[in-house]
Amino acid sequence: MPSLLEELKEIEVAARSQLAEARDDAALEEWRIAYLGRRGRLTLVLRALASLPLEERRKVGAEANRLKEALGAALAQRQAQLEEARLTAVMERGRLDVTLPGRPRAQGRLHPVTQTLRDVLHCFESMGFQVVEGPEVEWDRYNFEALRIPRDHPARDMWATLWVDYEKDGERSMLLRTHTSPNQVRYMEGHQPPIRIVVPGRVYRFEATDPIHDWMHTQVEGLAVDEGISMADLKGTLAEFVRRIFGADRKMFFHCDYFPFTEPSMGLLIDCVVCNGEGRLRDGQGCSTCKETGWIEVLGSGMVHPEILANVGYDAERYTGFAWGMGIERIAMLRYGVEDVRLFYQNDLRLLEQF
């Protein structure tokens, strides 16, 4: 029968090699119970000491106690080792390199046309105009008939039209509105003077595009109706608009024009900012933005035709009004010096990020 000392040696070898194999908490606990638990191998040796003669009890007892402490320490060390390995694995998985540069956050901003639209609306709001809106798909009646543009009249040729539903002789023809002017009639039908409104919105035309025409653009319609409104009010209001949006140095002039719904009608022109009113660029090339004229029309305007006032039930002897319609893209072009209106809707960030 092997002596207890030999058994202790054997226990130590087995315990150490098994401990090195333990890979998790459950395995460690199992190992602890097997060697140091109440019925563990080492515990049984310690219990057996009592029956030994004194001399041997001292020798074996000292060795058994040393082993008990050594195994306890080995267990603690193995536990720490496994914990360290676990933490390292976690760190590896979610590694964070604080020296890397941050990812830039893309910052949004308003489209230049939206910015310009808001500035224009604020300008008129501060002069007492109220913002209202109307539908983009419009009846023939509002887009044309009620504005004195009857069917088969040549005035219709001024608007290249995108029809949604066309009935030749019926009342039900629908189109994408070609201008915001229908809202003059829509608003007057539901309200009495005094009226001061601006109507922003998109309009659509069946149009070949060039640097200053696109098939869709944004307009702001204006309408003021009251007793005693004159052309001086129209000029004063629009001159103030030009001063505020383009600055005091901009040259402008009104020229005669024709619109079926105003009498008289005028166009408002501003000197071209791309060529500075020269009609030619610095390299001698003709300026395509103003078609080499040096001027750009920013809006059409006039005194509301009395027939239109009478048709919505107003007393046209008592009330007069002025109206205008302007293209916001064109104003944005002039303001920012963009040569081609089509650039606004190509979604090229290299352009859009400049504003």
Least distance from ligand DAH to the Cβ atom of residue 187, Å = 12
Q: Which of 301, 305, 309, 319 binds ligand DAH (CB under 6 A)?
A: 301
Q: Which of 42, 234, 238, 323 binds ligand DAH (CB under 6 A)?
A: 323
Strands of the sheet containing 137-139, edge to edge, are: 137-139, 174-176, 162-165
Largest CA distance in the chain: 137
Report how far residue 1's alpha carbon sits from residue 303's, in angstroms, rounded to the nearest whole number.
Answer: 127
CA neighbor of 194 nearest in space, from 306, 307, 314, 308? 314
Type of residue numbered 19 = L
Looking at the Cβ atoms of 68 and 186, the one nearer to ligand DAH is: 186
The reply to whether 112 sits near ligand DAH by the rule CB under 6 A is no
Least distance from ligand DAH to the Cβ atom of residue 344, Å = 18
Binding mask 177-216 for ligand DAH (x = CB under 6 A): --x-x-----------------------------------
Contacts of ligand DAH in 247-266 (CB under 6 A): 259, 262
The reply to whether 140 sits near ligand DAH by the rule CB under 6 A is no
16-52: burial string, b at 16+ Cβ within 10 Å, e else: eeebeebeeeeebeebbeebbeeebbbeebeeeeeee
Token pair in block for residue 93: 């998985």
The reply to whether 220 sits near ligand DAH by the rule CB under 6 A is no
The reply to whether 320 sits near ligand DAH by the rule CB under 6 A is no
DSSP state of 145: G
Number of residues that bind ligand DAH (CB under 6 A): 11
Contacts of 267 (CB under 8 A, 6+ apart): 254, 255, 256, 257, 297, 299, 300, 301
Q: Which of 325, 332, 341, 344 binds ligand DAH (CB under 6 A)?
A: 325
User: Contact residues for ligand DAH (CB under 6 A)?
Assistant: 179, 181, 221, 259, 262, 300-302, 323-325
